[in-house]
Structure 1
């Protein structure tokens, strides 16, 4: 399955990376395990299951610097309960989905 390597940003600050894969092609949703860097602060950049929205607006860009146009980016951090695999990144309503993934691919 093809992946799309991206940087995850809070404003202009890169807080980590991910390798996006299809989650729900019909809705343009892709996701990945988030790989934080030293700039990542969970209380600022992510939410828990009880929160309705992350405290900071996030964006994603290709490794060549091109921002992905989408409806939103969601980062849920459950790593304190389940380990590093618990940092879930979802990109919602990805425009130009077919440019990155086969729309039938799951």
Structure 2
């Protein structure tokens, strides 16, 4: 039977890493990530209702929790910190499935 144990916890982001292994499944092991994103997503929703200065040179586009960044890396191979992946990050932020990450309603 596989048992899970806490591998790491980041108190700043709230991201937890869990490790599990299983002798029954040919000695396989897994790392699972978990983060409570509720507060960040609620803050994004509030920010979407606020006005922003369109004349500004820079706009705050999104707040992306670490768990979502990990999801993007695993599902799509997108590394948000890699400037070569900027078009993919823009595509994901403009996708309806990730609209809750946006803090403003403009399209990039």
The verdict on a shared fold, with TM-score over 0.5 as the criterion, is no
Q: TM-score, normalised by structure 1?
A: 0.28
Whichever structure has more helix as a proportion of its residues is 2
Whichever structure has more strand as a proportion of its residues is 1
Q: TM-score, normalised by structure 2?
A: 0.27
Which structure has the bigger radius of gyration? 2
